[in-house]
Amino acid sequence: MKVGEPEKFIVKGKRLDGRKLDELREIKIEAGILKRADGSAYVEWGGNKVMAACYGPREVHPRHLARSDKAILRCTYNMAPFSVSDRKRPGPDRRSREISKVTREALEPVVFTNLFPRTAIDVFIEVLQANAGTRCTGIAAASVALADAGIPMRDLVPSCAAGKVGGEIVLDLFDVEDNFGEADLPVAMIPRKNEITLLQMDGNLTQEEFEKALKLAMEGCIKVYELQKEALRRKYGGA
Amino acid sequence: MVLPGELIAEGEYKLGEGVFREQGKIYSSVMGLVDEKKGYLRVIPLTGKYIPKVEDFVVGKIEDAQFSHWEVNINSAYSAILNASDYFREIDIFQTALAKILAPGDLIFAIVREITPTKKVYVTMADKMARSLKGGRLLKISPTKVPRVIGKNSSMISMIKKETKCDILVGQNGRIWLNGEAERINLAVKAIELIEREAHTAGLTKRVEDLLTVR
């Protein structure tokens, strides 16, 4: 047993932080909080605090990256040095490059890039505090930031993870569950079409477990989707 | 108000900006307000950058002067081109360097003449309203708020012009150029800032009028 590993993950049907197996952490989304960016969002998701900013469509630098038939979408995921308990060495690393890539691939299918040839749409995701599930938090925030920037999209992209801890399939792992659990399955989707744009898995699941976890994560996504829409409506006083 | 991906309508419509059709259904692609007129459906965006449209008036800033054209920043993802032949009087480009007529940093009020499929934007000064702008002050607002600053049949901007006696040119790209007495410009700027801040509220004209006529 490793240091910090709990003896039991689930006691009397409740998880270590008091949640039920299919319960999300508390999520707070705010749209349009940065004045200098074209669009922005701030998301607090349990212990995660993530800021996303979006710029564009704008001129592409360096020029050779520009595509003559569509806009390019660039995503940058970055963790602040103080976002984790051991100071994170600043700067891009293998992990953040991977997350930047999967974030871009999760968002690209919904953005009408064909409307803005020769331009770039830049999305920056800054993790201020991490508590497991930052890539999902980041995608959810980025999607709201894109909408806030007025970028034409087919839909918002909510994101949520499911996983396996203590032999049970649970929704939205927090850090202890993520570190010592058996599997983590982040999912992002296009709710309107029921299509998946991000699917990763860390750990092992049987096929039945996988299907159960995927279904659970997609239900979580729908809840996040409602919160995203609510945040945008709140910002723009929408009826 | 609608959000990206929200179902707006089904059936036969001509589609404008901010909407798209998928399997016979029409959805919004941006956050905005639905506008339907005579079978023409669009969503007026609440946020976003300026996207050039033909016949838009824009306040442009000269970026660079080439041999036969200027490059103009129009506060958009695309910079525009002003050909020497689109300048309001004839220029012999073999005799005169274009930088002597309009230097980088100069402002112009121009009209968008053409946008090619690859999104090259051409502006022209061949219009009664178009001119180069000397002196004055430049104000930037969100391009989505420009229609409110202009008002119905330019009622709002006419009122501001009349009350402040300023020369005001509003570009669709969110840049507004003002010229006049410093005090009066300040007042006009205050009025425009008020419009931008409270663009989506009722009774705006009255409040702007109050602001302008008090004192």
- pLDDT digit string, tens, across residues A89-111: 999 999 999 999 999 999 999 99
- CB neighbours of B61 closer than 8 A, spacing ≥ 6? B72, B73, B105, B106, B107, B108
Residue A170 clears pLDDT 50, i.e. is over it: yes
In whole angstroms, what is the distance from residue B8 CA to residue B19 CA?
Answer: 9
Other C-beta atoms within 10 Å of B64: how many?
14
In whole angstroms, what is the distance from residue A167 CA to residue A181 CA?
Answer: 9
Q: Answer yes or no: are the C-beta atoms of A128 and A51 closer than 8 Å.
A: yes
For strands B69-73 and B57-65, give the pairing.
Answer: antiparallel
Domains of chain B (ranges; CATH) run 7-45 (2.40.50.100), 57-133 (2.40.50.140), 137-213 (3.30.1370.10)
pLDDT of residue A149: 97
Tell me the pLDDT band of A151, cut-offs 50, 70 and 90. Answer: very high
Most A CBs within 10 A among B2, B17, B20, B29, hence the mutation to make, goes to B29
Q: Is the CB of B3 less than 8 angstroms away from the CB of A150?
A: no
Other C-beta atoms within 10 Å of B16: how many?
14
- pLDDT digit string, tens, across residues B102-137: 999 999 999 999 999 889 999 999 999 999 999 999
Q: Which residue has the tokens 């309001």?
A: B88
pTM score, whole prediction? 0.93
For strands B107-115 and B121-124, give the pairing.
Answer: antiparallel
ipTM: 0.91
- pLDDT digit string, tens, across residues A201-236: 999 999 999 999 999 999 999 999 999 999 999 998
Provide the residue type at A18 as one letter.
Answer: G
In whole angstroms, what is the distance from residue B47 CA to residue B32 CA?
Answer: 8
Q: Any idea of the CA torsion for A130, A131, A133, A134, to the nearest 10 degrees?
A: -10
Domains of chain A (ranges; CATH) run 20-233 (3.30.230.70)
pLDDT of residue B215: 59
Rg, C-alpha atoms of chain A: 18
- pLDDT digit string, tens, across residues B151-186: 999 999 999 999 999 999 999 999 999 999 999 999
Residue B35 clears pLDDT 70, i.e. is over it: yes
- pLDDT digit string, tens, across residues B74-109: 999 999 999 999 997 788 889 889 999 999 999 999
Residue A238 clears pLDDT 70, i.e. is over it: no
Half-sphere exposure of B22 (CA within 13 A, CB side): 15
Residue B209 clears pLDDT 50, i.e. is over it: yes
Q: Which helix (H) or strand (E) holds A212?
A: helix A207-235
Q: Is the CB of B118 less than 8 angstroms away from the CB of A149?
A: no
Instruction: Provide residues of A within 8 Å CB-CB of chain B.
Output: 32, 38-39, 56-59, 68, 110, 112, 116-119, 147-156, 190-192, 229, 232-233, 236-239
Q: Is the CB of B30 less than 8 angstroms away from the CB of A236?
A: no
Average pLDDT of the residues of chain A:
96
